[in-house]
Amino acid sequence: MKRFLDLADFSREQILDLLALAQSLQDHPQPRALAGKILGLVFLNPSLRTLASFQVGMSRLGGDSFVITPGQGTWQLETRLNAVMNGAAAEHVREGIPVLASYCDALGVRAFADGKALQSDLNETFFGMIDGLCDKPLINMESAMNHPCQALADWRTLDELRIPKRSKFVLSWAYHPKPLPLAVPAAILHMAAMRGMEVVVARPDGFALPPQIMAKARVAAASAGGSVNETSDRTEALAGAQVLYAKEWGSTLHYGDAQGDSRLRAGLADWCVNERWFTGALPDAKLMHCLPVRRNVAVADEVLDGPRSLVRLEAFNRLAVQMAVLHRMLA
Amino acid sequence: MKRFLDLADFSREQILDLLALAQSLQDHPQPRALAGKILGLVFLNPSLRTLASFQVGMSRLGGDSFVITPGQGTWQLETRLNAVMNGAAAEHVREGIPVLASYCDALGVRAFADGKALQSDLNETFFGMIDGLCDKPLINMESAMNHPCQALADWRTLDELRIPKRSKFVLSWAYHPKPLPLAVPAAILHMAAMRGMEVVVARPDGFALPPQIMAKARVAAASAGGSVNETSDRTEALAGAQVLYAKEWGSTLHYGDAQGDSRLRAGLADWCVNERWFTGALPDAKLMHCLPVRRNVAVADEVLDGPRSLVRLEAFNRLAVQMAVLHRMLA
Amino acid sequence: MKRFLDLADFSREQILDLLALAQSLQDHPQPRALAGKILGLVFLNPSLRTLASFQVGMSRLGGDSFVITPGQGTWQLETRLNAVMNGAAAEHVREGIPVLASYCDALGVRAFADGKALQSDLNETFFGMIDGLCDKPLINMESAMNHPCQALADWRTLDELRIPKRSKFVLSWAYHPKPLPLAVPAAILHMAAMRGMEVVVARPDGFALPPQIMAKARVAAASAGGSVNETSDRTEALAGAQVLYAKEWGSTLHYGDAQGDSRLRAGLADWCVNERWFTGALPDAKLMHCLPVRRNVAVADEVLDGPRSLVRLEAFNRLAVQMAVLHRMLA
């Protein structure tokens, strides 16, 4: 495996193989599998789980890693092609990425959406550039519109809990003071569709996921025997739900327009998940969230601290599935 | 050993065992003792010795480590229970700590005192929360009122220099432009008392250590055959002293009141340790300080660069004793 | 080898030996050569290549490393002797460096020029202090006036490309919005002279390298059979050139005077290397630069992305030569 950028690049069988490898590495540790191998980790944005779990994953497999955080101890990186670099950035990714790639055996890169032009972010303009500059195996540690490591971990969590494939999986918008990227909702939507679930996206008007993202998920759902729908009616969405996956994201109607987004979300603070949301759901319905989560803003304490919450387990599973990805790439 | 949070949690014999293990690991290195083990290090506050020595300690024992610095490359962490998280912190320790703990075999956490409410800091409110959230072995890398790694290193330093148990150990307040936490003075006071020394705390009026801290140390002193006293008279304190341990800390009379503290310390700039302080002390009296130290503010160059100074040796010993703690926890 | 501070501290034969070792380690990896060895890395200034390649170098040789970044997670370090430390710096290098050195087997330090007093920077006042404080092997990862790791990597690059010793090597000033340090131009000038090349320094009036630096290079050139000249005439300099090494640096006429420097460089934006610069050069003339480079400010895209550019290769070679240095110091 040379690239791990998008679950959609793999067949369902390949994903199931990766998940089986994750389980196998947990049952039968291979502490020398990646001896002598080095993973470079480039974080253009903050991280806790990804930062810790990728380093640990390499350690647990006998390899090593290093971390580069542009702007903090490292030069700020320019990303625009043909830029006249007379601003804050001292180095261009066109130099930075190939150089870092030359030092390691695989590279992980985190680069959030630019958040200005929707089409450019949908095109993964920046990550596409990274892809072209990196001649070593490359891992997407969250890009403009994807977060395949999170999606794979969540798939494993659903499997571990024996959540039936045909059950109802509600991906719901949740409140946040700022417009967050679409990477996680897009990746999780695709994952649930690819797993064959009955997926419903619940979001207020103005927060619909882009048609391209929805269409891509519908193709995956059709192939896996599931479905993808969307609604702005939370009660309808949650009726009979087995899983509520809460996630904050920005308005797609006002993409790149902070004021427009702000006006739209001003009245939506009640999109903070609490126990009442689960009234019409299955009795043992679960709450998922990729973390970090703003308590009592996106999800109430009562849910996060109650028996529905899978959020810690999801985070634990990041390590397991990423070890499988690293093993497949480097062993 | 599942917790290393406070020397007071251990018997004198257990501490002597740890110090013997530190010496043994120095004499007979065990470069594979912690092979496959991973230490997570969470720094909510700055560090130099702790940051370097814990990483090195794991390396020297064949293990590995990773560092998380909330607010720098990682999300800022919320610490208040029931907080409505609409401020700067994107993640709560209630998620962050269990997740990081799940990735490693032991966790070290540094979290300075909040510095607002004395009783809350004395209660170790925050570190108590961490303790409850971490199901792996946990190391206190400095909390509101404790710094057991520093205390253990200083004990080793006193032993190495063959400073007699019954000699006079003066813990003296020293000047600093700002009110620093009570963690080091509290931990060092307890260590010296537990070692059985004749301890005197010298501090200006308004800077007395809290009665709970003094009482706890007196219990340890009684059990070890030493004593604990306090005075605001520096000359009296230093008469016949074998060791002067200098440390800066904030006013307990004006705890959490920056202006009150500032007024009180304004006239205390002469609490900068210089050679004259040692006039009545034993001829070979030593100067100790946990570092970092503000030269010519807390301690004068002439003392730090002279033969009395043990400050470098104390720092060197951090590595030795922490390796013993790690070995006891993980080997 | 106890110190790697300046190529000039070594004979030509010793440098050739190091370069041969770099090649040998590439051809015949020694993944356990530095098992149990630990490198401490102290960065007082930003870094990408140095930060990544030193960590990787230790990993590839079976050793380990840790990184300290004063001011970011670690206390800000005071560097002035006899300072009354009542400002931002909480710790003095007089404590910090010996303590860090005690934890590791070799120390690398990056500390850019102070940029205020030319003579003090020429004297390496700060790095001299570090040198005196470190009782372990010490590596200069860029000091006020030197960058021996970059120079050694560039020597290897010239050898790899079979650039003839007697060919013309032009070290040219290039535009940058701010006055950068003299470390790289000084180190590269010396390297090219020591390699025996026909070196010409091309720079605008007011940007001449200090006479001491030029004289030192002339001694090295004489011994190696090459030459060192300088001119403000770019066309003359580049006539018949085999290599153009572009580098930005501050005015030596207005050293430490930001306004004077700014006035002088205001009219020099055409010192941005483009294809026209190569009109009179050899047809296969190469472009070198140490990186980071401001695209279309110091060097145009057309050159960086064209066949003349060796900039990536130079950066790749940092790893190879630093592994030789580490091996010589610690194996």
Give me the amino acid identity at A49.
Answer: R
**CA pair distance A184, A151, nearest whole angstrom:** 8
Instruction: Tell me the pLDDT of chain C averaged across its residues.
Output: 97
* Contact predicate C297/A84, CB 8 Å: yes
- 10 Å CB burial of residue A35 (0-12, 13-18, 19+) is middle
Q: Which of B37, B99, B107 would best serve as a mutation to test chain A binding (most A beta carbons within 10 A)?
A: B99
- DSSP letter at A70? B
Whole-number pLDDT of residue A200: 98
At A75-98, the pLDDT tens digits run 999 999 999 999 999 999 999 999
If residue A286 lies in a helix (H) or strand (E), which one and from where to where? strand A286-288
What's the rounded Cα separation, in Å, for the pair C143 and C139?
10
Answer yes or no: are the C-beta atoms of B109 and B141 closer than 8 Å.
yes
| A108: confidence class by pLDDT, cuts 50, 70, 90 | very high
Whole-angstrom distance, CA of residue B20 vs CA of residue B25: 9
Q: Phi, psi (5° rounding) for residue C100?
A: -65, -40
A200: Cβ–Cβ under 8 A, 6 or more apart, which residues? A168, A169, A170, A171, A228, A229, A230, A231, A237, A241
Q: How far is A89 from chain C (nearest CA, A)?
A: 8
Per-residue pLDDT at A168: 98
* Whether ipTM exceeds 0.90: yes
- The pLDDT, as a whole number, for residue C152 is 98
Q: Which chains touch A (3 or more CB pairs under 8 A)?
A: B, C
Give residue B268's pLDDT band: very low, low, confident or very high (50, 70, 90): very high
Q: Quick check: helix, strand or coil at residue B92?
A: strand
pLDDT value at residue A302: 98
The C-alpha of B38 sits at a distance from chain C's nearest C-alpha, in angstroms, of: 14
Q: Which residues of A touch C291 (CB under 8 A)?
A: 91, 95, 99
What would the pLDDT profile of B97-140 be if each residue is shown by its tens digit?
Answer: 999 999 999 999 999 999 999 999 999 999 999 999 999 999 99
- Residues B44-76 as b/e (b if ≥16 CB within 10 A, e otherwise) read bebbbbbbbbbbbbbbbbbbbbbbbbbebbbbe
Contact call for A43 and B84, based on CB within 8 A: no
- pLDDT, tens digit, for every residue of C113-136? 999 999 999 999 999 999 999 999
- Tens digits of residue pLDDT in A140-197: 999 999 999 999 999 999 999 999 999 999 999 999 999 999 999 999 999 999 999 9
In this complex, which chains have at least 3 CB pairs below 8 Å with chain B?
A: A, C
What pLDDT score was predicted for residue A210? 98
User: Chain B interface residues facing chain C, Cβ-Cβ under 8 Å?
Assistant: 31, 43, 46-49, 51-53, 55-56, 59-60, 67, 69, 72, 177, 291-297, 301, 304-305, 311-312, 315-316, 319
Query: Does the beta-carbon distance from A294 to B102 stay under 8 Å?
Result: no
| Measured distance CA(B169)–CA(A148) in Å, rounded | 59
Confidence band for B8, pLDDT divided at 50, 70 and 90: very high
Answer whether A184's CB lies under 8 Å from A290's CB: yes
pLDDT value at residue B127:
97
E strands of C91-190, at which residues?
A: 91-92, 106-110, 138-140, 168-173
Nearest to C255 by CA among C120, C129, C148, C78: C120
Interface A-C: count of C-beta contacts within 8 A: 90
Query: Looking at the whole model, is its pTM more than 0.90?
Result: yes
Per-residue pLDDT tens over the stretch A274-321: 999 999 999 999 999 999 999 999 999 999 999 999 999 999 999 999
Domains (range + CATH), chain A? 3-146+315-330 (3.40.50.1370), 162-309 (3.40.50.1370)
Confidence of residue A57 (pLDDT cuts 50, 70, 90): very high
Partner-chain residue, chosen from C38, C84, C90, that has the shortest CB–CB distance to B56 = C38
Category of A180 on φ-ψ map: left (φ > 0), alpha (ψ -120 to 50) or beta: beta
With an 8 Å Cβ cutoff, are A305 and B94 in contact? yes
- Mark residue C64 as left, alpha or beta (left: phi above 0; alpha: psi -120 to 50; beta: remaining): beta
**Of B244, B227, B230, residue with least CA distance to B158:** B244
Backbone angles phi and psi of C162, in degrees to 5: 55, 40
Mean pLDDT of B59-73: 96
Q: How far is B105 from chain A (nearest CA, A)?
A: 10
Mean pLDDT for the stretch of residues A98-118: 97
- Hunting for tokens 């014999």 — which residue is that? B13
Q: Report the largest interatomic distance among the alpha carbons of chain A, rounded to a whole angstrom.
A: 59
Q: What is the CA radius of gyration of chain B?
A: 20
Strand partners of residue A247: A173
Banded model confidence at residue B172, pLDDT cuts 50, 70, 90: very high
Name all chains with 3 or more CB-CB pairs below 8 Å to chain C. Answer: A, B
- pLDDT, tens digit (0-9, with 9 covering 90-100), for C210-236: 999 999 999 999 999 999 999 999 999
DSSP β-bridge partners for residue A253? none
Q: How many whole angstroms separate alpha carbon A44 and alpha carbon A179?
A: 18
pLDDT at C228: 98
pLDDT band at B215 (very low <50, low <70, confident <90, very high): very high
> Do residue A294 and residue B74 have CB atoms under 8 angstroms apart?
no
Tokens of B49: 């010795």
- The residue of chain A nearest to residue C31, with distances taken between CA atoms, is A36
**pLDDT tens-digit series, residues B141-156:** 999 999 999 999 999 9
The beta strands (E) that lie in chain B are given as 3-4, 38-43, 64-68, 77-78, 91-92, 106-110, 138-140, 168-173, 198-202, 227-231, 243-247, 286-288
Buried b vs exposed e over C115-150: b needs ≥16 C-beta within 10 Å? beebeebbebbbbebbbebbebbbbbbbbbbbbbbb
Q: What is the pLDDT of residue C119?
A: 98
CA dihedral A298, A301, A305, A307 (to 10 degrees): -70
Who's near A9: CB < 8 A, 6+ residues apart? A3
Residue of A nearest to B94 (CA): A305
- Per-residue pLDDT band at C22 (split at 50, 70, 90): very high
Q: How far is CA C218 from the centre of its chain?
A: 19
Q: How many CB atoms lie within 10 A of CB B135?
A: 12
Q: What is the mean pLDDT of chain B?
A: 97
In chain C, residues with a C-beta closer than 8 Å to the C-beta of A35 are: 31
What are the residues facing A3 on neighbouring strands? A138
**Residue where the block lists tokens 């080095």:** A38
User: Peptide bond preceding B98: is omega within 30 degrees of 0, i.e. cis?
Assistant: no
* pLDDT at res. C279: 97
**With bands split at pLDDT 50, 70 and 90, how would you rate the model's confidence at C44?**
very high
- The per-residue b/e assignment along C212-230, b for 16 or more CB within 10 angstroms, e otherwise, is ebbebbbebbeebebbbeb
CB contact under 8 A, A91 and C48: yes
A315 → closest Cβ in B35, B82, B99: B99
Across the interface, whether the CB atoms of B102 and A55 are under 8 A apart is answered: no
Q: Percentage of chain A surpassing pLDDT 70?
A: 100
Chain C residues in contact with A72 by the CB 8 A cut-off are 72
